[in-house]
Structure 1
Amino acid sequence: MNSKLLDDFTKDVLETAKRNSTYRTLRTMETPESSHVKICVAGAHASSEQLLLASNSYLDLANIPELKQAMAQAVLDWGTGSGGARLTTGNKTPHNELENELAKFKGEEAAITFNTGYMANVGTISALCGKSDIIFSDALNHASIIDGIRLSRATCVVYKHNDMIDLERAIQESKAKAIGNEPSPNATKQKMLIVTDAVFSMDGDLANLPELLRIARTYNCLLMIDEAHATGVIGQTGRGLAEHYGCEHADVTVGTLSKAIACEGGFVAGKKQLIEFLKNKSRSFIFTTAMAPAMAAGALRNLQFLESHPERVLQLQENVKFFCEALQREGLNVPQSPSAIIPIIIGDEAAALNASARLLERGYVIPAIRYPTVAKGQARLRASLMATHTREELERATTAIVQVIRSTNYV
């Protein structure tokens, strides 16, 4: 065993990350996920309570007593594990019930669940496309989309972020090139897939679904969107981009149960035939043990809670509007976010880390996002809100953010 080779390689990588202020460490929370948490802070004798402005649990469902009780009962009813893959012994009643509810919630014929949203993207893209196909991918798509494209071995064409003119140009050029290269009689018919995040996780902006639909129809492309940060957040009742824009759905809609739904797992919703196809062809569905049935039952109960409490979605949207306007009044260059994500650009990686650390000392959890998650020189504080944050809390957070930034002239 060549331990020195491994030690030297990993040491070099970690030391480089530390020099570049891109080294990652874990932060430990000692309380359940909610708007207020206790965190172990280095050098402190005891954990301190913080206002959490960093969670993807946008509707703050993870710590609701009745939902926790439902999950506990599900464990008692179904045990702690599934015992097998869905296609062998792992498929239990809660899986089917959850998928039926997801399809209904998304307004689709059917749905299929995966163990994570990452697995949903990887498994779906690599099942739909192969090496003879072309995938058009937004420049700011999530890593799970990028990895799915790599696994598919399809040709990847990256278009400028949210730039529909550039997307259309890229498709036209690819079609012209295909016409110029006469395929052999036995060649597989080429598919073209447009894939994009619905809400972009670092900037909080939305994909232009109506234009994407138009382009997909015009050029006979499939369209896939990932609504990880849109489900439970976008649209009057949290059903996503189609509800927000009042338009048709994409051919393939991916989502997650781990953010606004506050549980675990991912899903794909669409036509029944698409879902049957994924059951037969998606490797990340076929070759993995099913999520615990108790987890599926918990996700179902959380989803039903969301459906019966649309006021939580509206409260979240009102909080975002209030917070963005408060920051803007103080002179900060932040967008009026249409999602729950508000980026506060700092620029320098070390400066962003320092700002985040100073806010933590004052009782606010807002992480610094740095390269390679965002481009070099685009380091930022990434705030994400919950429906249960109060206006008083958001006002105090605004004051703290502005004071930290102004005291060091970051922006």
Structure 2
Amino acid sequence: MVQTLNTFLESNLNELKDNGLYNEIDIVEGANGAEITIGGKQYINLSSNNYLGLATNEDLKKAAKDAIDSHGVGAGAVRTINGTLDLHKELEETLAQFKGTESAIAYQSGFNCNMAAISAVMNKHDAILSDELNHASIIDGCRLSKAKIIRVNHSDMEDLRNKAKEAVESGQYNKVMYITDGVFSMDGDVAKLPEIVEIAEEFGLITYVDDAHGSGVMGKGAGTVKHFGLQDKIDFQIGTLSKAIGVVGGYVAGTKDLIDWLKVASRPFLFSTSLAPGDTKAITESVKKLMASTELHDKLWDNANYLKEGLKAKGFDIGHSETPITPVIIGEEKKAQTFSKRLMDEGVYAKAIVFPTVPRGTGRVRNMPTAAHTKEQLDKAIDIYEKIGKELGLI
């Protein structure tokens, strides 16, 4: 290895380890369900984004197997050549119905969606107002567009109004967009979409909501935009197909013209092979389940409220989450890492989240209850939390 590279890697890796910021990757042996196996040991799993337990659903598995038998394991080409299968058409029609929009487009990941959609519409002559806690994929998508990025204080409507007014009235930009997560993944709070829409209409802002953690969770499953009844007011609805939906991929939902433009201008669509047939059919089956019944959605919220009440009663700081995302805020990074490791020793898998994912000094263990958890599993987890919390002097 070239010495300059070796020096760079050694120095930076050691710095991360010394500061409790190095993330060790654990290998899950088998399915990622309410319980998981790592190193031959079973754990109550509170770190998965599999909100509704659909990643292991038997109907989805059958749909995927059937599609592999009929269409093969891969799509064989990019979408614009001959990689658009009848399965993709069915999926996108189902997604549009689910999100309450004219049309939808599927991508290989939620990250790809933000890289694709932002840069396909915004350019160096434009400005993007972006909530300061937006996901990394939004930040990278904004950078790729070369638009002027204007950081907005988190969920601060006065700051948004002032910066929107300044950007629009400056006359410097052809278009101005406001981007926000629908549900913020580290704290579990929800974007103030009604107020955002009011400001957007006042100043002519393009509105863009990344609902990765809202699809399947908010709005009886249809997402945060549907929760507020704003399907006809939000220009871009973005989301993943890998969290509550339980498979893999992402989508953009909006007007037919918007989706038609993304099909000819968004680079991940133009230059990446399509979603695999098995995944595509499983996603469609999953979305149809969510449209047919709120049973899993309701179970998720019941379990989430149960876990929150239990942890709060024990004296933990769980922040101000409005969703199933349940952070236990520790503060110091090394202590958050130690807390997570001790939980693991006792049979609970809940990963520490530290800088740069969250601001320095706000290290936490983030819990993700799902519809697949039993009350017995949650009770056991709460008891283990109490034991470790007392041991480390947190409660």
- The alpha-carbon distance between structure 1 residues 299 and 320, as it changes in their structure 2 partners (threshold 3 A), is same
Secondary structure at the counterpart of residue 62 of structure 1: helix
Name structure 2 gaps, 5 residues minimum. none
Q: Do residues 355 (structure 1) and 339 (structure 2) align?
A: yes
Contact 1:115/1:265 (CA < 8 Å) preserved in 2? yes
The alignment status of 1:167 with 2:155, answered yes or no, reads no
Q: Which of 377, 380, 403 matches 2:364?
A: 380
Alpha-carbon shift at residue 62 of structure 1 (Å): 1.1
Q: What's the counterpart of residue 293 of structure 1?
A: 277
Alpha carbons 1:136, 1:192 under 8 Å: kept: yes
Hey, what's the Cα distance between the residues in 1 that align with 2:320 and 2:205?
32
What SS does the aligned partner of 1:11 have?
A: helix
Alpha-carbon distance in structure 1 between the residues aligned to 2:34 and 2:320: 22
* C-alpha contact (below 8 Å) 1:321/1:336 kept by paired residues: no
- Say whether residues 1:136 and 2:114 are aligned partners: no
Cα drift, residue 336 of structure 1: 5.4
Question: Which one is further off, 383-392 or 112-121?
Answer: 383-392
* Matched residue SS, 1:57: coil
Counterpart of 2:148 in structure 1 is 155
Aligned residue in 1 for 2:294: 310
Match of 1:185 in 2: none
Cross-structure match for 2:18:
19
The AA in structure 2 aligned to 1:12 is S
Post-superposition, which runs of at least 4 consecutive aligned residues in structure 1 deviate over 4 A?
none
Match for residue 242 of structure 1? 225
Summarize the alignment of residues 2-401 of structure 1 with structure 2, pairs less than 5 Å apart.
3-40=2-39, 47-178=40-171, 190-236=174-220, 238-248=221-231, 249-335=233-319, 337-401=321-385
Q: Is the CA contact 2:316–2:394 (under 8 Å) kept in the aligned structure 1?
A: no
Q: Tell me the CA shift for residue 209 of structure 1.
A: 0.8
- Report what 1:44 is aligned to: none
SS of the residue corresponding to residue 410 of structure 1 reads coil
Contact 1:325–1:336 (Cα < 8 Å) also in 2: no
Q: Between 197-206 and 383-392, report the one with greater CA deviation.
A: 383-392
Q: Give 1:354 shift.
A: 0.7
RMSD: 1.3
Q: Give the Cα–Cα distance (whole angstroms) in 2 for the partners of residues 305 and 327 of structure 1.
A: 31
Shift of 1:76: 1.1
Residue of 383, 388, 391 corresponding to 1:404: 388
SS at match of 2:253: strand
Q: Which moved more, 1:319-328 or 1:217-226?
A: 319-328
* TM-score scaled by length of structure 1: 0.93
Report the 3-state secondary structure (helix = DSSP H, G, I; strand = E; otherwise coil) of the residue aligned with 2:238. Answer: strand
Q: Identity percentage over the alignment?
A: 38
| Number of aligned residue pairs | 394
Quote the residue 1:184 is aligned against. Answer: none
1:245 maps to amino acid: F
Contact 1:324–1:336 (CA under 8 A) maintained in structure 2: no
Q: Deviations over 1:164-192 (max 9, x none)?
A: 111111112223433xx6xxxxxxx6100
368-377 or 319-328, which deviates more? 319-328
Contact preservation (8 Å) 1:134, 1:192: yes
2:308 maps to a residue whose letter is C
- What secondary structure is seen at the aligned counterpart in 2 of 1:74? helix
Q: Is the 8 A contact 1:340 1:384 kept in 2?
A: yes
Provide structure 1 residue ranges, at least 5 long, that are not aligned to the other structure.
Answer: 41-46, 182-188
Q: CA deviation at 1:241?
A: 1.4
Tell me the distance in 1 between the aligned counterparts of 2:246 and 2:174: 39
The C-alpha deviation readout for 1:67-123, integer Å capped at 9, x for no partner, is: 212211111111111111100011111100000000000111000011110000111
With 130-139 and 3-12 compared, the bigger mean Cα shift is at: 3-12
Which position in structure 2 is the counterpart of 1:43?
Answer: none
- The question of whether the paired residues in 2 share the 8 Å contact of 1:39 and 1:49 is answered with yes
Normalising by structure 2, what TM-score?
Answer: 0.97
